Copies of this chain bind each other. A is one copy, B any other.
Amino acid sequence: MANQKKGKQSFLLGNSPVISAWASVAGKKEAEGPLKDFFDVTETDSYFGQKTWEQAEKHMQQIALTTLLKKAGMQHKDLGLVFSGDLLNQCIGSSFTLRNTGIPHIGLYGACSTMAESLLMASMAVGGGFFDNVVALTSSHFAGSERQYRFPLGYGGQRTPTSQWTITGSGAALVCSSGKGPKITACTIGTVTDLGITDANNMGAAMAPAALSTIKAHFDDLKTSVEDYDLIITGDLGQLGKEALLTLAQKEGVPLGGKLTDCGTMVFDLQNQDVHSGGSGCGCSAITLCGFFLDHLNTGKLKRILFCGTGALLSPISTQQGLPIPGICHAVSIVGG
């Protein structure tokens, strides 16, 4: 079967690419949360043995890539391409990870939607017959993010109740033209959606309209519905963003059938870990997918999920200039292996 554009934003993959290996690396706080048993590597040192948080983030990506290759029984030279990106200005987490590895690299920027974005692009590169083994990779680091987007940690700024906690972690998935594992059957590419939210401490609310727009487009384009999925998984809306999405979905008559879950609400114990609305950052959906969900798809505990990476496309400059926060959401349909 050939690849096919479907509807406005989606495509069906003729030969479903296989996610044949996946790996996750998590920081201390993440390793104390509900998903602690699912991560491949955890580390209590927030510097991961490096001199700076930015270098720590790079090192996390390196560990994720190395662990992935080990699990797949592959080496750098076996990889056709790595799609990766992160939240650091100019995506230095990703480019420094890959320097002098000899692996072809396409840099992405999709804010916290990057895990879904890179997975979607990997499925295009493999499904289009261009490459056989392609990696989707991303990361985020709490301390690096805080000082870049908000305040230096030493300043001790008060966090608002709507704020989320950037995940320290990295996730990697290997997408192949053949093999065993969960399969990517279809993808929906997001549009930049902006309903005028300007509170940079309430990203969930800013991203919820984008999530709804993409989920709706996915259902419409592919003539599918929530009935076809075990779970609809958003990236990192957090508790408040998830509630906002449920309200919007009800208002627009999009049934989510009690199947909505959000990585930002899963990765931390919201009652006891003092993270306010939940986790966020590129690493949030990355470690939840590459730690928890792909395992569950592989063992048959889950049969089919819609993985919806959500991203807030703001910058400190756009916020300082009084602009609203555009959101985006990319969705990847994954079936059990």
- Which residues of A come within 8 Å of B, CB atoms? 2-5, 8-9, 11, 14, 51-52, 54-55, 80-81, 85, 87-92, 95-96, 98-111, 117, 120-121, 124-125, 127-132, 189-194, 313-318, 321, 323, 326, 328
Contact = CB atoms under 8 A, between A and B. Distances in A.
A106 B89 CA distance: 18
A131 B5 contact: yes
B105 A189 contact: yes
Given A88-B317, A193-B100, A321-B52, A128 B124 contact: yes
Contacts of A80: 5
Within the oligomer, what is the number of copies of this chain?
2
Contacts of A109: 85, 90-91, 107-109
A135 to B, nearest CB: 13
A96 B130 contact: no
A321 B9 contact: no
B105 A318 contact: no
B192 A100 contact: yes
A191 B104 CA distance: 4
24 contacts: A4-B129, A54-B321, A55-B321, A89-B317, A90-B314, A90-B315, A91-B313, A95-B192, A95-B313, A96-B318, A99-B194, A99-B326, A100-B194, A102-B191, A104-B190, A104-B191, A106-B110, A106-B117, A106-B189, A107-B108, A107-B313, A121-B121, A128-B128, A128-B130
Contacts of A55: 321
A11 B190 CA distance: 27
A318 B95 CA distance: 11
Contact of A99 (B96, B128, B131, B193): B193
Nearest to A14: B129
B192 A92 contact: no
Q: Which of A2, A81, A323 has the most CB of B within 10 A?
A: A323
Given A108-B107, A130-B3, A192-B100, A90 B54 contact: no
Q: Which of A107, A124, A125, A129 has the most CB of B within 10 A?
A: A107
A328 B95 contact: yes
A52 B318 CA distance: 10
A121 B121 CA distance: 9
Give the 4 A-B CB pairs with smallest separation, nearest first.
A128-B128, A90-B315, A104-B189, A95-B313
B105 A328 contact: yes
A120 B121 CA distance: 12
A4 B129 CA distance: 6
A326 B52 contact: no
A99 B326 CA distance: 7
B108 A106 contact: yes
B128 A98 contact: no
Contacts of A89: 89-90, 315-317
